[in-house]
Amino acid sequence: MADPTNLSDTLDIQPEDDGGDLRLRADIAALSHRGKVRQNNEDAFIVFRIGRFLEPVASSIPIGELPPQQEVSGHVMIVADGLGGHEGGEVASRSALLEAVRLIGSSRRWALRFDDPATRVREIRELMERARGYLAEVHAALQRQAEANPALAGMGTTLTGAYTAGRDLFVLHVGDSKAFLVRGGMMIQVTRDHTVAQRYADLGMIPQHEVPTHQMSHVLTRAVGGPDADLRGDMHHLRLRPGDRLMLCSDGLSDMADEEQIAATLTAHPTSEAACRALVDLALDHGGRDNITVVVAGYVAA
């Protein structure tokens, strides 16, 4: 992960920011399927809303004169694809998400909007620093779990998570699950796979278009709970716009269908629930050789 005090790791889908303080409403759904070949589902996902509330309970001032109930809320979405065999993969993905939820739930600093110009940059940096620390804690927790139980030796998991607060979107990524942003008819992959094949492409050893079919395309160079003492994850910061759609998925979808097919399916199904079902069906229709997990979030002006 880049140094969180340096916002150069921000991904600028569109450098020009518009919309000001425009509020967005989210339509979010998620679906997971074992697939047609695997005997168990080693994928895991979570979607939950976090918020800050102000609700009058008792007051000497007439309730009607007080501001209405207020909420500053965001969403956390995470997809994890476990590895390490029948037992290890399931344990790794589930344990990673449970530990992430525990860490996020214990923090009082997640329900933010970053809408104060005087503190915005500092708060974004602090959030990135917390995310970096949470990833390290989840990584260490899985390593301790594997060390304590020989049956879990070698387990690990990918982790692709998104956090939205107002119009700010943060994506944290390790492994080869993916995050895509669909904007203006274009489907943009936010994340970059941590695989040997992708490293070959980055070094110029193979062309980028060969990565998906390369024999090393599923050999991870990073995994949560893996052998690395210090795990580095990628973090991206984007500004959402009305009409944007975010999709997180395990490779059970991205290996079975190309980006054009995925984009066409999203376009044909404007609601997130329908899109999730159609994307899982798309992967199944193309063989369903792995577990399939999809999270779709659509954003419109509130």
More reliable by pLDDT, 70 or 149: 149
More reliable by pLDDT, 109 or 213: 213
pLDDT tier for residue 57 given thresholds of 50, 70 and 90: confident
Q: Position of tokens 């269908």?
A: 257
The C-alpha angle with vertex 240 and arms to 238 and 245, in degrees rounded to 5, equals: 110
Determine if residue 291 is left, alpha or beta; phi over 0 gives left, psi from -120 to 50 gives alpha, anything else beta: beta
More reliable by pLDDT, 13 or 271: 271
Q: Is the predicted pLDDT of residue 233 greater than 70, yes or no?
A: yes
Q: Is the predicted pLDDT of residue 153 greater than 70, yes or no?
A: yes
pLDDT mean over 228-251: 96
More reliable by pLDDT, 39 or 292: 292
Specify the pLDDT at position 112. Answer: 66
pLDDT tier for residue 3 given thresholds of 50, 70 and 90: very low
Q: Is the predicted pLDDT of residue 1 greater than 50, yes or no?
A: no
Q: Which two tokens stand for residue 295?
A: 């999270």
Q: Is the predicted pLDDT of residue 133 greater than 90, yes or no?
A: yes
State the chain's mean pLDDT as an integer. Answer: 88
Specify the pLDDT at position 106. Answer: 85
Q: Is the predicted pLDDT of residue 53 greater than 70, yes or no?
A: no
pTM for this prediction: 0.89
Specify the pLDDT at position 258. Answer: 94
| Domain extents in the chain | 7-12+23-58+68-301
d(CA 29, CA 26): 10
pLDDT mean over 223-252: 96
pLDDT tier for residue 59 given thresholds of 50, 70 and 90: low
pLDDT mean over 223-251: 96
| Fold observed for domain 7-12+23-58+68-301 | Phosphatase 2c; domain 1 (3.60.40)
Specify the pLDDT at position 129. Answer: 92
Of the candidates 224, 280, 222, which has an alpha carbon nearest to the alpha carbon of residue 256?
A: 280
Specify the pLDDT at position 19. Answer: 53
Specify the pLDDT at position 74. Answer: 86
| 11-45 pLDDT, tens digit each | 444 434 555 567 899 999 999 999 999 999 999 99
Least confident of 115-124, 158-167, 239-248: 115-124
Specify the pLDDT at position 67. Answer: 64
Computed on alpha carbons and rounded to an integer, the radius of gyration of the chain in Å comes to 20
Give percent of the chain with pLDDT exceeding 90: 75
Specify the pLDDT at position 105. Answer: 84
Q: Is the predicted pLDDT of residue 205 greater than 90, yes or no?
A: yes
pLDDT mean over 79-93: 89
Phi, psi of 149 (to 5 degrees): -135, 105
d(CA 38, CA 43): 11
Q: How far is CA 88 from CA 82, 92, 96, 115, in A?
A: 7, 6, 12, 42
Q: Is the predicted pLDDT of residue 81 greater than 70, yes or no?
A: yes
| 157-175 pLDDT, tens digit each | 999 999 999 899 999 999 9
- Maximum distance among all alpha carbons in the chain? 72
Specify the pLDDT at position 109. Answer: 66
